[in-house]
Structure 1
């Protein structure tokens, strides 16, 4: 059963070595992520599952110990899911979203529970997302989720997806849903619109919605900004 969830953005820019000179611009987002992970630890989970968007090669389960790195972003920084090396993760590599999550867990010294990863296709249909969430919530008596994903990438002229006037209202609706743990609102997110706005978190948020259907959790929005024209949201459910 789901007992807590943290929702965090997944830009590699959260890692200071990747952000380099721009690192201070993400300080508030990093601090909010740390606070959200504190809520997870306080929930005393028996298992933490990290959920995040993944390309074709990163979809599916990633066991504790699976490695990842930010070498593709120009820095020699490596991570492991859950920190410790393990043969279970041999031959697999974390997608970028789960690598950012692994970095956050290392940054906070996570030791509250075993960790697993689950990569989600950004185009996965809402009902299949919900089914995946229900399955994750049933893995242990007390399951916590760390849910990674960005909102729209179209908030400004310099944003990766250029300016789209629909982006701010879309992000605001997601922020309201995450801040109030509104499961039906997350399940009702427009899949086509999310794709057009390059909102990578849509499928991950709908996995969360499936996991939380019977949990009765309350939500709190900890961060809501778009420093690079991309919506970054942090929320905690408990």
Structure 2
């Protein structure tokens, strides 16, 4: 049963060492993520699953202790999925995709060491129905499950955005914020896959996994942060 979820953006710039001199620009987003992580801890789950954008279509499962890093961004910052002690037994030769590495960084930053942690990577091409089914599978094993869900909204909010300016981006992001802030499972499950891909919204598939996991859970949502620095929509929400 899903007992709580934290929804956070996953730009590597969220990591201050990566952002360097621009780090203060995302201080509000970091603070909101910390608040969302507090909701997860307060729910006292038996298991935590980190869901985020993957490198392939997925789904791809990453066991506890899987390492990740931000060396590709020129900084000597390493992370692992769950407590550091687990890294000695969890290594598989694979590294976390950057979205899940940001999730691991958030866990380490907030001192998460309560329960086992595993990761699931899902790609932008994974169909909506498969994402929803995957969410159901994640919580089907019983016990109290919490999700940390990583993903960004559109990347087309301004002329300097990675995807350039698209007039559809702001309305799309507004609906994403509304759905995540109100725990509207039906709206998330019904998101337009093609439009999300055109607007470069990396969160579509992870949010639809959340929708499947939350079916029947009766969770309420709270929108903690919504903005578009650098022309990319970032949303933070907590469900409990």
TM-score normalised to the size of structure 2? 0.97
Residue 190 of structure 2 corresponds to: 188
> Could you say if the C-alpha distance between residues 57 and 182 of structure 1 is closer, same or farther in structure 2, counting changes exceeding 3 Å?
closer
Q: CA deviation at 1:193?
A: 0.3
Q: CA deviation at 1:141?
A: 1.1
Residue 99 of structure 1 corresponds to: 101
- 1:157 is paired with a residue of what secondary structure? coil
Q: What is the aligned counterpart of 1:115 among 117, 130, 135?
A: 117
> Could you say if the C-alpha distance between residues 100 and 43 of structure 1 is closer, same or farther in structure 2, counting changes exceeding 3 Å?
same
What is the alpha-carbon distance in structure 2 between the residues aligned to residue 88 and residue 106 of structure 1?
16
Q: What is the aligned counterpart of 2:232 among 216, 230, 233?
A: 230
**Conserved in 2, the CA contact under 8 Å of 1:63 and 1:116?**
yes
Cα distance per residue 1:46-88 (max 9 Å; x no partner) = 0000000111297511011000000001111100000321323
Gaps of 5+ in 2: none
What is the alpha-carbon distance in structure 2 between the residues aligned to residue 181 and residue 213 of structure 1?
10
Residue 205 of structure 1 corresponds to: 207
What is the alpha-carbon distance in structure 2 between the residues aligned to residue 49 and residue 172 of structure 1?
26
- 2:44 is paired with a residue of what secondary structure? coil
Q: What is the aligned counterpart of 1:177 among 179, 201, 208?
A: 179
- 2:229 is paired with a residue of what secondary structure? coil
**Conserved in 2, the CA contact under 8 Å of 1:161 and 1:198?**
yes
**Conserved in 2, the CA contact under 8 Å of 1:64 and 1:86?**
no
Residue 79 of structure 2 corresponds to: 79
What is the alpha-carbon distance in structure 2 between the residues aligned to residue 93 and residue 139 of structure 1?
26
Q: Does 2:219 align with 1:217?
A: yes
**Conserved in 1, the CA contact under 8 Å of 2:82 and 2:107?**
yes
Cα distance per residue 1:151-200 (max 9 Å; x no partner) = 00000000000000000000000100000000000011111000000000
Q: Which structure 1 residue ranges, 4+ long, deviate > 4 Å from structure 2?
A: none
Cα distance per residue 1:82-123 (max 9 Å; x no partner) = 032132322121000110000000000002211010001111
Q: What is the aligned counterpart of 1:155 among 157, 165, 168?
A: 157
What is the alpha-carbon distance in structure 2 between the residues aligned to residue 106 and residue 222 of structure 1?
20
- CA RMSD in angstroms comes to 1.1
Q: Which moved more, 1:201-210 or 1:106-115?
A: 106-115
Residue 139 of structure 1 corresponds to: 141
What is the alpha-carbon distance in structure 1 between the residues aligned to residue 205 and residue 58 of structure 2?
14
Gaps of 5+ in 1: none
Q: Does 2:12 align with 1:12?
A: yes
